[in-house]
Amino acid sequence: MSLIQADCRLWFRCLIALTAEVFGTWLTNVYLYPHYIGIAPEARDISSALAVITLAILALVAMNKPTSIHEKTLTPISLTLYSFGFMLILLGLWQANPAILILGASIRSIGSRWIVVLAGISLCLLQRRDCMLCIASAFGLSYLLRIPFAFVGSDIAIVVLISLMFVMYAACRPLAIRVLEDMQTALAGREASITEPDSYLPFAHAFFVAIFVFRIAYGFALTFESVDGIPQTTMLGLIPIALLLVLALKSGNRRADILYEAAALLIVAGYLFIIVLHGRVVVGYPSLVNGCLFAGSECFEVLMWFALSAVGARNPSNALAVFAWGRAASSFGLLCGANFGHWANALPDNLETSVLVAGVLFCFMAVNLTVLKGFSFQDTIDGVQPVKAVRIALYPDDTSEGQCKEEIADRTPADVEQERTTTRALSDALTASCDGMAQKYHLTPREREVLGMLAHGRNAPYIQEKLVLSRNTIKTHVQNIYAKLGVHSQQELIDAVELFGEHQS
């Protein structure tokens, strides 16, 4: 199989998986959730909250102990929970039993999250332009699929919805496995981030804050002035798809920020229309309001998929943690926004509704102008540095005599002794270089010790064990050393030490 054929197959697999996710979300909002209202309207919020918790746990495990995540174990459990949850949902709807419905919705939501994350990390294998085209095509296909489903019954729609999760998994599994293999063989992100801080986004990063804030707007759009629980969507949601296609075909490096700005402007326009026009007899008012809100929300939705996949592609070993945490922030924002929309719908006075929306708009703008001031999606993506293998120079005493004899038994004693002498000389030179740098950059005695181990290729867990210090203490020492030396990664530090040694000799 040629490289082009392989890339095409990869692209189409991602397209199928993402289309199944996007279209499945629409089917859920239009054909499943409205059935909850008359029996257990809280089922949606409870299941959404459990989805947030599930994703957060998955992100924390991926960041702290990635070797404990086994696809062959998690997938059968997830698909079983998903199927069993749907059975309980159907039973709860048939029996009009709130308890069964809530239980089924919760189990379904928990079970589906792992498969959605697998679909997400599959996108990390695509080049940026291909990824943009894939996301735009997936959203476009989901809109085309909505046309025939506007004329089918809810029974058929729910059957299709149940099957989409299996379609998604079948399409993305071979790709997701490749990303998971990188994660399994790499050092845990919690430890690797100490020596490679530019390769990992902290969970409190503005990147995830932006996802949470913008998804509040989407949750509001889903529920504001909904009819019998069905969101009032319009074809204006095609705007971001067209924009993404143009950006994918256009040269330039600020494509993510253009989507970000477009999403913000459309959302602000939607809120302003509510404040000005709510309660007035204006032709096309609902379409105008929901059209802007949905267009802005969809614009950010495609941006979110692209940004998460682009960050994951920069550091595949941390892709699962990034996607899980990003989706957790997204689901939590969606939950908050949906409740805000229900609250706005329940207000009896138009003025109260306008005041409430004005307050939310103020908060939205305040966060963007303060917390997110100067934030750039594109700079964040480009700022994530790929994790590179660090050249390791072993300490002379790290290789025992027995190990030497076993590894190079076919060599003469003179060769072995010569190798040991060379290793000691290199280590002594590296140690002398570290001593010189410590003096020049005014490192403390403990920072000098840490510098020496970093220069020899040691990772954070080794240094922590060797010096009997806590993780946070090691992290502080590494941050101080990097700041004083003006480096951003362990490899840059090693290069700087070697260069210093060359200048001294």
d(CA 32, CA 85): 13
User: Looking at residue 398, what is its pLDDT?
Assistant: 45
d(CA 191, CA 169): 31
d(CA 420, CA 463): 24
Assign 230 to helix, strand or coil.
strand
Helix and strand element counts for the chain (H, E): 21, 0
Report the half-sphere exposure of 295 (CA within 13 A, side-chain side): 23
User: Looking at residue 282, what is its pLDDT?
Assistant: 54
Domain ranges of the chain: 3-383, 396-504
User: Looking at residue 231, what is its pLDDT?
Assistant: 54
User: Looking at residue 396, what is its pLDDT?
Assistant: 42
Tokens 């409430």 sit on residue: 356
d(CA 234, CA 157): 20
Q: What are the structure tokens assigned to 244, written together? A: 């993404």
User: Looking at residue 223, what is its pLDDT?
Assistant: 74
Residues 147-188 have pLDDT tens digits of: 888 788 888 999 999 999 999 999 999 999 999 988 888 888
Report the CATH fold assignment for 396-504: Arc Repressor Mutant, subunit A (1.10.10)
Which residue numbers in the chain have pLDDT < 50?
1, 3, 281, 393-408
User: Looking at residue 241, what is its pLDDT?
Assistant: 65
Burial level of 373, CB count in 10 A (0-12/13-18/19+)? exposed
Report the CATH fold assignment for 3-383: Growth Hormone; Chain: A; (1.20.1250)
Q: What is the 3-state secondary structure (H, E, C) of 186-226?
A: CCCHHHHHHHCHHHCCCCCCHHHHHHHHHHHHHHHHHHCCC
Residues for the chain: how many in total?
A: 505
User: Distance between terminal CA atoms of the chain?
Assistant: 53
d(CA 376, CA 207): 8
User: Looking at residue 285, what is its pLDDT?
Assistant: 59
Residues 283-327 have pLDDT tens digits of: 555 667 777 777 888 888 888 999 999 999 999 999 999 999 999
Q: Angle at which helices 71-95 and 154-185 pack, to 10 degrees?
A: 160
Residues 398-434 have pLDDT tens digits of: 444 444 444 445 566 655 555 556 556 667 778 888 9
Fold agreement (3-383, 396-504) = no
Q: What are the Cα distances from residue 439, in Å, to 226, 443, 502?
A: 68, 7, 16
